[in-house]
């Protein structure tokens, strides 16, 4: 197997302390987590396991020097784990108990063999770009967070489109009149940005993607920005604009608020077992799950 620059480590020096965290709302996830934890404990690892939303467990992960987090859930579970782990350079091994699983390669049936490969050092680490988002109200930063998928500035309960002035590195590009503007990583290009008609970017890129949602007499195409760019979005509407990172609870924005988005200093590290070129092979397989695909084949 070909590895990238984050070469695999044996579990004695690398993965001694492992947290197995399950999505609390997925049937059987916690039970699966207990079985995974038992196998790892039998291999000599120090283990904690339980609910991903358990604040005590989350504090242990970052406060007690854990080396790896294994998630059981869907892509949303990986996003939440990424927020937790990225600032501490803790890799994530996702096991899929969700639906599509764009970020996940391990099925519930495969995890016993996967753990054997993990213990043997037969894996590589993939780095996924994250975005840092800051929300400015006058001269005060009222929110500061990192995302793995996207930051979305959108209309709230009011059905009227919002007016959003977008600047690139200080230069005004355009004003969008739309339901929303998605500011996405390459990882997020297969999420909301894809649903809004944006292009799919390979995960190793570090470009920012801008995709408007339902634009009215505005630029209606996604724009891929150069690596290192900073996007500033200024709210020019006074009727219920919001901002949300990775689908989390939204923050209400006011007229004149500015949302600055740039590459984060943090990355999400994912444990991989497939060849480095897995992305396109998996992408085709996932897209073919559309029931209307292949009708004429």
What residues are annotated to the active site? Answer: 75
Enter the DSSP assignment of 106: B
Residues 6+ away with beta carbon under 8 Å from 229: 168, 169, 207, 208, 262
Distance CA 73, CA 65 (A): 23
Kindly list the distances between the CA atom of residue 218 and the CA atoms of 48, 173, 197, 255, in Å, as whole numbers in the listed order: 51, 12, 15, 20
How many other β-carbons are positioned within 10 Å of the β-carbon of residue 188?
A: 30
- β 150-155/241-245 pair status: antiparallel
Distance CA 222, CA 98 (A): 28
Distance CA 110, CA 8 (A): 20
């Amino acid at each position: 197997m070909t590895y990238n620059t984050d070469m695999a480590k044996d579990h004695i020096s690398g993965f001694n302390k492992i947290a197995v965290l399950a999505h609390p709302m997925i049937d059987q996830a916690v039970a699966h987590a207990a079985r995974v934890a038992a196998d790892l404990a039998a291999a000599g690892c120090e283990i904690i396991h339980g609910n991903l939303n358990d604040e005590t467990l989350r504090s242990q992960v970052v406060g007690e020097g854990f080396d790896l987090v294994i998630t059981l859930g869907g892509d949303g579970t990986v996003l939440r784990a990424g927020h937790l782990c990225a600032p501490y350079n803790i890799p994530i091994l996702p096991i899929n108990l969700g639906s599509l699983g764009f970020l996940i390669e391990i099925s519930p049936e495969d995890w016993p063999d996967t753990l054997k490969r993990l213990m043997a050092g037969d894996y590589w680490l993939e780095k996924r770009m994250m975005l840092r988002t800051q929300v400015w109200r006058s001269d005060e930063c009222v929110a500061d967070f990192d995302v793995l998928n996207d930051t979305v500035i959108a209309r709230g309960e009011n059905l009227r489109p919002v007016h959003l002035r977008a600047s690139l590195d200080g230069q005004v590009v355009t004003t969008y009149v739309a339901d929303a503007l998605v500011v996405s990583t390459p990882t997020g290009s297969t999420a909301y940005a894809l649903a809004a008609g944006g292009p799919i970017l390979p995960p190793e890129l570090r470009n920012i993607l801008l995709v408007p949602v339902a634009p009215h007499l505005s630029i209606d195409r996604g724009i891929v920005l150069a690596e290192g760019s900073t996007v500033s979005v200024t709210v020019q509407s006074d009727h219920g604009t919001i901002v949300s990172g990775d689908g989390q609870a939204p923050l209400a924005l006011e007229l004149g608020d500015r949302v600055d988005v740039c590459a984060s200093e943090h990355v999400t590290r994912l444990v991989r077992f497939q060849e480095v070129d897995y992305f396109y092979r998996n992408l085709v397989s996932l897209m073919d799950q559309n029931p209307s695909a292949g009708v004429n084949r």
